[in-house]
Amino acid sequence: MAILVTPQTRILVQGITGDFGSRHAKLSLDYGTQLVAGVTPGKGGQVFEHNGHKVPVFDTVTEAARETAATVSVIFVPPPFAADAILESVDAGLDLAVAITEGIPVNDMIKVKVGMAGKKTRLIGPNCPGLVTPGTGEDSHGGCRIGIAPGYIHKRGNVGVVSRSGTLTYEAVWQLTSRGIGQSTCVGIGGDPVNGTSHLDVLKMFNDDPETEAIIMIGEIGGDKEEEAAAWAKANCKKPIAAFIAGVSAPPGRRMGHAGAIVSGGKGTAAAKIAALRDAGIAIVPTPGVMADTLLQHWGKI
């Protein structure tokens, strides 16, 4: 089944005519993603062409969704305009909006959160690599790739991956695939302090997904979302989980990489997160190079 998206999910790209958006739209089309529309204000009526694909471009998300039955948007819009782009997807009633954009002002994201309250749309990101549900073809072709993740490293299977870090997501996926272990869905939730979907949200979905048999969770310093997920997993999740927390050596008060990766006021430390995860019976990954092996040992596969 996978979670959030399937190979049949119909996708639109906000910012498809920009350099970044067009580049990744092409890669998604090559992967076999059902990319059915683009949105760029003022460029409605144009056609985005790539390798025999002809994707219509619309001025608004509402028009694009109405004409093409798209249910998911991926957002490649510059930071000053990205919040409005997210809210446009919300107003159009899409099921999912995936915001790849990095550097959206925190105040803008707070307004987005307020604007999304009570609405049906789920947000992944911002500042995230997106998500991939692999297909069953060669190099997992025929799946659903939304965002910037390298689709070719994925393999269809039974491990769910959820991560705040894009690069560590790719590392975990490649380790699994190299060992012949496939993935159900891989979700990059982003590293900003104000985002849409949390580790806990994704863990609940993986727990309910019959295809997902085991989980890799990747977190980092800052905030308390990993502890929140650990507490829920302790009480509710019977599937094996391995977790890596980045930033063990980060000095307090200094941001490390992502905007949300900062230890402040004694909260959000790697030690506190690791303690909570270990208490929940989750296997702790000591270094990034053994994420797959740690899960497989905990799972009883090696």
- Active-site residue numbers? 258
β-partners of residue 281 are: none
Torsion angles phi and psi, residue 243, rounded to 5: -130, 140
* C-beta separation of 199 from 260 below 8 A: no
If we measure between CA atoms, which residue out of 141, 140, 144, 120 comes closest to residue 33?
144
The first and second tokens of residue 143, run together, are 């799946």
**Terminal C-alpha separation, the chain:** 26
d(CA 63, CA 84): 16
- Count CB-CB contacts under 10 A for residue 123: 24
The first and second tokens of residue 236, run together, are 């509710």
User: Angle, nearest 10°, between helix axes 79-91 and 61-68?
Assistant: 50
* C-beta separation of 77 from 24 below 8 A: no
State the DSSP H helix or E strand holding residue 10, giving kind and residue range, or none if neither.
strand 10-14
